């Protein structure tokens, strides 16, 4: 392992390579796990404001790795959102209601010219988070998971509402787990996309 010191420029191509490396590493880890006997849910040490737990989300055209995101209510996480796709993607962490609100809000941006993602009004009462990442970009961000999140009756998801992406299945469930890594319930079923409401 070699280290590089001093200022480093990280152009888009290097970021893309980083994202691909992370994606490949995650894939290798996943397949390595698949070769072993089934294991119990890995133990999670919940993040705190002074020591956030790192959570990697890799975006593809059109999906996410991992296929289920484990979060502990009330924990603080350091999200690494890595867009390994060719398109701009977002990761909205929120309830199904919030997902549908963003789906509606962003549908209004259809036909906008290429470039920066249009500003989207935050839905009333939104207690999740929305992260937008361009192709090859990695966005790091600290977020505290609401304690009340598991009370949402239809569950929480990570979803993308760049127009058309939700319909292509760009959504994964969030599974809430306790401080010992034990699921507080099953991950919610993936909502069927319902174009036009």
Binding region for Cu ion (CB under 5 A): 89, 160, 162, 165, 170
Residue whose C-beta lies closest to Cu ion: 160
Q: For residues 57 and 170, which CB has a smaller minimum distance to Cu ion in the complex?
A: 170
* β partners of residue 69: 174
Q: For residues 86 and 184, which CB has a smaller minimum distance to Cu ion in the complex?
A: 86
3 state DSSP class of 15: helix
CB of 119 to Cu ion, least distance (A): 17
CB of 150 to Cu ion, least distance (A): 26
How many Å apart are CA 171 and CA 99, to the nearest integer? Answer: 9
CB of 84 to Cu ion, least distance (A): 12
Q: For residues 134 and 150, which CB has a smaller minimum distance to Cu ion in the complex?
A: 134
Omega of the bond leading into 66 within 30 degrees of 0 (cis): yes
Contact 149, 73 (CB under 8 A): yes
How many Å apart are CA 136 and CA 89, to the nearest integer? Answer: 10
Q: For residues 61 and 97, which CB has a smaller minimum distance to Cu ion in the complex?
A: 61
CB of 25 to Cu ion, least distance (A): 22
How many Å apart are CA 90 and CA 164, to the nearest integer? Answer: 12
Q: For residues 65 and 160, which CB has a smaller minimum distance to Cu ion in the complex?
A: 160
How many Å apart are CA 31 and CA 53, to the nearest integer? Answer: 23
CB of 171 to Cu ion, least distance (A): 10
């Amino acid at each position: 392992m070699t280290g590089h010191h001093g200022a480093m420029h990280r152009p888009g191509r290097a970021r893309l390579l980083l994202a691909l490396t992370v994606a490949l590493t995650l894939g290798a880890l996943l397949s390595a796990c698949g070769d072993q006997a089934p294991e119990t849910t890995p133990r999670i040490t919940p993040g705190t404001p002074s020591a956030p737990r790192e959570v990697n989300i890799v975006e593809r055209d059109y999906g996410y790795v991992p296929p289920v995101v484990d979060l502990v209510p009330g924990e603080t996480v350091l999200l690494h959102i890595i867009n390994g796709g060719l398109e701009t993607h977002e990761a909205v962490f929120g309830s199904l209601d919030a997902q549908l609100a963003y789906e509606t809000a962003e549908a209004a941006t259809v036909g906008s010219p290429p470039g920066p993602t249009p500003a989207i009004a935050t839905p009333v009462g939104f207690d999740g988070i929305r992260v937008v990442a361009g192709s090859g970009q990695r966005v790091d961000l600290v977020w505290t998971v609401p304690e009340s999140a598991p009370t949402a009756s239809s569950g929480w998801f990570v979803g993308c509402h760049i127009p058309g992406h939700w319909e292509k299945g760009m959504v994964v469930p969030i599974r809430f787990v306790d401080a010992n890594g034990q699921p507080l319930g099953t991950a919610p079923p993936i909502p069927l996309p319902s174009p036009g409401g």
